[in-house]
Structure formats: C-alpha cells, structure tokens
Amino acid sequence: MRVVIAPDKFKGSLSAPDVAKHLATGLLAGFGQGIQATRIPVADGGEGTIDAAIGSGFTRRTTTVTGPLGEPVKADFAVKGTEAVIEMAAASGLALLPEGPSSDTAKKATSIGTGELIRAALDLGCRKIILGVGGSANTDAGAGVLQGLGAVFLDEHGNELPGGGAALAEIDSIDFSNFDVRVEATEFVLASDVDNPLLGASGAPAIFGPQKGATPDDVAELDAAASHFVDVLAATTGQHAKYAAKAEGAGAAGGVGYIAIAALKAERRPGIDVVLEFTDLEQRLKGAHLVITGEGSLDEQSLLGKTPMGVSRAAQRNGVPVIAVCGRSTLSREQLADAGFHTVHALTDLEKDVQKCIAEAGPLLEQLGKHIGVYLAERTGTTDNKEYLNV
C-alpha cells in the first residue's frame, strides 16, 4: 500500500513537514509495516513554500538581510542547481514585526530584505528565481526590492530616501547605476494567487493595507505615494511601468507583485501550480493507492485554488482517490465531494475545543492517521483490528 501525504501547514500550529510526519506515524501504527508513506510537504506559494522546496530536494540557505523595519534578520531560502525559491515572508513578513502591525509600521515597512534575498541567490549562481509572496508587512509598491538590488531613491535635494510606502511620496529620481545587472539574465516566476492591481479601490493599499495596520487616512496616503512612484519609475524606465501597475497580480504582497512584473519581467503563475511543479507531485503520484492532503481550515477560500484543491486536481488527473485532513471544515458534504475529496477528517471530530486542537495538533493527527491506516488495512484484509474505526 503506497500513500502520498501532501499537506499544507496548519497555520499557527504545525508546519507542513510536521503535519506529514504525524500523519505518517499514525498510518504506520494503524496499518503496520506493509504501508509506504511518501511525504511531500506543499504550499500555495506563501508561507511554507521553503519547507516544500526543502522537502523536494532543495538545499536550505540562510543569510542576514534587512527586516521590514530596518533591523537585521536571518532569512532562509532554497537552492537546487541554478534555481532558487524565495519566500518573501522570511525577510519582509508581518510575523517579523516585534510589536505587531500598526499605522506607523504600515507606512514604514519595507521589502528591501526580499531584494537582498534575490541578490544572495544571484551570488550563488541562480538564474531562475521563484518568488513566493504572501504574509508581507510592507505596502511599498515593491520599491524596497529595487533598493535591495542596488537602486537608490532620491528626493528633490538629492538625498537618499529610506524604505517604506510613505517615503515614496518624496521620490524625485531613481539612480540605477549600481543596480544588479544579473537581474536582466535571470528568469523570475511570481508565485501568487492575488489578482489585484497596484492602485485604486481594489489595489494593494486599499485591500491589504488595513491588514497591515493602515488606517483609512494611511490607505489614501500610501495609494497616492505608490501612484507617484509609478510615475517616476515610468519616467525613468519607460511606460511599461505604468501598464504594469494595472496588471493582475501587481497588488500582491504590498506591491511586490508590481515590481516583479514591471522590473523583474516575472511570469505570474498560481502559487500552488508552481509548488506542485517543483515538488514533482504529478510524477510521484504514479502508482499511489491514496493521497492525503489538507490544511488548517478547509473553507470557502480553500476552493479558490489553495493547496488542497491543487493536490486534489493532480490526484484526480492520475486516478488516485484523495482524503483531506484539516483542523476544521466549514464546507458542506456537497462542496467537499465536488472538490474531489473521498472523505474528510477534521481534528474537531476528535476534540471540540479548537484551542486544544491547535495546541495538540500533532497527537490528534496521529490519531487520525491511525484511523485511516486501520481502515486501509481492513480494506486490504491485513488485519481484523477495528478499534479505531469509530474515531
């Protein structure tokens, strides 16, 4: 019996590798030695993308970069040959704000560290860079990425400007004389499901700024500052910079999507598709009897292309049944069936207290894994043990 375990993280509780490990432990306990559990941690391009890359043969690298508020932080990225996977949350994420988001941090947070991570990958000879975005602290239109790669922003007096979205209002010119020339010879992939433009009512400041601490006044200020930045960048590099601001995905990660499209010439692709490609999930599904996927919460957002749906589609293409495991599910039986899930097991089926589910996710996942293992053993006739069938 060969089972592929391909979950996302259980946010706030367990990483994807830990989820897969606990499920595999339970499966082995329930089925016995006749089962092979292939663990493939996955993600949708946001947080957890590095774990997915490491689980697929990439090597973890660590470097010190500039954090969202200018402090030094150690950030991981992943390398395999000349390909790198960068998770911008590791350098520029909300989780790195020591006091949490506020009006002040919303205006000052920068994506400089993400640019520095790109440069670190270039230093290692990488010429294809997958940029996984999500969980960002910045609303700086991606200007910090350019700064991290050597661009200098100057005000009308020739003074260098700091990072952050609010400072963009003071840009008079951009000096690209020390910009990293290796960018031109590098292929970039923007792994993102966000289709918002950079500016306006559905732009990055308006839609995502409040999540990062921005007040209504801050949103208006950040949107105006980003618009001014687009004008200056277009005057410096060409009108394509204006068109890029309206592109789908330009509003991703506080506008890092904009710079990826406008300056890095990145191809935007759904995050889950990118991750499933570099994990080689399709090929590794061949010959499997079952796939187990899941995430912390199976809900309406999951149906819009998050990890479980991507894994389910891949499994269906290969004729392999899919079981979902989650912390909780708010979806109806019909929605789950339409999504391709044979059955769904939630931690809340075992423990009604959600906080206990979060704190004790590991042992609970092992119980679910054991239940699934016993069920599979029953189906294959290897045991008569029914102790866990009613879990």
Over the stretch 100-135, which tens digit does the pLDDT of each residue have?
Answer: 999 999 999 999 999 999 999 999 999 999 999 988
Q: What is the pLDDT of residue 382?
A: 53
% residues pLDDT > 90 (the chain): 84
Does residue 386 form part of some domain? no
* Beta carbons of 55 and 281 less than 8 angstroms apart: no
DSSP-assigned letters across all residues of 49-83? HHHHHHTTT-EEEEEEEE-TTS-EEEEEEEEETTE
Q: How far is CA 102 from each of CA 116, 237, 279, 381, rounded to the nearest angstrom?
A: 25, 33, 37, 58
pLDDT at 386 exceeding the cut of 50: no
pLDDT value at 200 more than 90: yes
* Cα radius of gyration rounded to whole Å, the chain: 22
* 151-174 core/surface letters (b: 16 or more CB in 10 A; e: else): bebbeeeeeebebbbbbbbbbeeb
- In this prediction, residues 360-372 reach a mean pLDDT of 95
What average pLDDT does the segment 229-249 reach?
96
Q: What is the predicted pLDDT for the residue at 388?
A: 34
Domain containing residue 139: CATH number: 3.90.1510.10
Residues 250-273: tens digit of each pLDDT: 999 999 999 999 999 999 999 999
Tell me: pLDDT of 10 over 90.
Answer: yes
CA-closest candidate to residue 227, choices 194, 195, 253, 250: 250
Residues 37 and 53 occupy one common structural domain: no
Among candidate residues 272, 301, 321, the one where a domain is terminated: 272
pTM of model > 0.75: yes
Q: Which letter does DSSP use for residue 159 in this model? A: P
Domain of residue 60, residue span: 49-272
Does position 389 have pLDDT exceeding 50, yes or no? no
Residues 173 and 266 in one domain: yes
C-alpha neighbours within 13 Å on the C-beta side of residue 31: 24
User: What domain count does the chain have?
Assistant: 2
DSSP state of 172: -
Total Cβ atoms within 10 A of residue 352: 9
Residue 142 scores a pLDDT above 90: yes
